[in-house]
Structure 1
Amino acid sequence: MKSKTPLDRQEKELFEQAMGSVKPMSQDKVNLKKPTQSQKKQQSHRLTFEKQQFHFSDEYEPQLPSTGPMKYVREDADSFEAKLLRRGEYAPELILDLHGLKQQESKQEIAALLASCIKQHVKCACIIHGIGNRVLKTKVPHWLVQHPDVLAFHQAPLEWGGMGALLILLDLPDDPFCK
């Protein structure tokens, strides 16, 4: 790349004085091997397995509020967590937008999001389901209740999607390297 403004002799001398006895680094080259067909198959199989790690049931009907904002707190958790979610005390580190996805695709993406949250040790995530015909708006909470690592969820504050989104709080293990 050529410099737009060439340096004059004085600037070059100042630069050389500032650099002193610095020597250029020699570049170590690493020749990466291309993955073989069997390695590609193993990787795609692993990704497919990770996406389908948790299966949500469409038959399960949890006891969720029918009026007011959508919220849920697991029985063994503090109910104050839902209040903190409602206030926006937790900021989501990962956001999943389900607009344009079908129910089956949405279930897979939610399972992948939750697996990713656990793997990356993310405590709070946001799922934007939209309002539309209210299909995903009613199904997403029913699916989330089934997951063992979902501690609580609450309708998101306006800044994170309002009535068309849920903030999810996950129960992460104490050791981030255990899973």
Structure 2
Amino acid sequence: MQDDDFSLFKSQMQGVKPIQHDRAEVGKPKADRQRLEALRQAATVRQGTTTVDGLSDQFVIDVGAEDELYWARDGVQEGQMRKLKLGQVSFEGSLDLHGMSVEKARDTLWAFIAEATRYEVRCVRVTHGKAARLDGKRPMIKSHVNTWLRQHPQVLGFTSCLPKHGGTGALYVLLKRTMLEGRDE
């Protein structure tokens, strides 16, 4: 009888391939969270072509190397900006503009914010550096970034980072989100 059971089992298993992995399927994968994280990570990589951005250099606000920067669009809650300044709003993308020309920095910053906005990223870090220019004038990229971010329609506010994230050489930038959680203004 035991021999019959074995023969029957063997005949039923004919043509069946053994499983090649040892992981169980435990239901629906949590793709939404993983997909959103992947999209947010992709927001830190520049893609596409440069767009005419409308950011003006006509009146650049000169700032010092060690000056702390802070700006909030009208209507942005003080509590939200306080959290941003304290580093309590985690940034999900980071951009380093060190060593770039003003034009390259402008194009890169515009594309980075556009990509972050497309993926509904709430906060990013922009490292502008604080090196003084050879002619002794104020930091060029820092001054331009300070001016450009005030003009960008997707920027709600920004503040200098905590020392561990770059201090006065970097900014936390709070961005509008439009689709996932409604309007921010």
Which TM-score tier does this pair reach, normalised by the shorter chain? 0.5 to 0.7
- TM-score w.r.t. structure 2 length? 0.64
- Which residue is equivalent to 2:174? 169
Aligned letter for 1:22? Answer: P
Partner of 2:4: none
Q: Return the offset for 1:157.
A: 0.7
Q: Which runs of 5+ in 1 are unaligned?
A: 1-19, 26-45
CA–CA distance in structure 2, aligned partners of residues 136 and 23 of structure 1: 57
Q: Residue 113 of structure 2 aligns with which residue?
A: 114
Paired residue total: 132
| Aligned position for 2:122 | 123
Over aligned residues, Cα RMSD in angstroms? 2.6
AA partner of residue 119 (structure 1):
R
Residues 73 and 81 in structure 1, CA contact (< 8 A), matched pair in contact too: no
**Residue in 2 aligned with 1:144?**
149
Where does residue 79 of structure 2 map in the other structure? 80
Scaled by the length of structure 1, what TM-score is found?
0.66
Relative contact order (alpha carbons < 8 A, sep ≥ 6): 1 or 2 greater? 2
Say whether the 8 Å CA contact 1:150–1:169 is kept in structure 2.
yes
Deviation at 1:24, TM superposition (A): 5.9
Runs of 4+ displaced beyond 4 Å? none
Separation (CA, whole Å) in 1 of partners of 2:177 and 2:143? 25
Partner of 2:33: none
The 3-state SS of whatever aligns with 2:76 is coil
Q: In the alignment, what sits opposite 1:30?
A: none
CA distance in 1, matches of 2:155, 2:59: 16
The 1:78/1:141 distance shift into structure 2, 3 A limit, reads same
| Cα distance change, pair 173–53 in 1 and its aligned pair in 2 (3 A) | farther
Deviates more, 1:53-62 or 1:141-150: 53-62
Which residue is 2:159 aligned to? 154
Percentage of matched positions with identical amino acids: 27
- Offset of 1:21 from its aligned partner? 6.3
Paired residue for 1:32? none
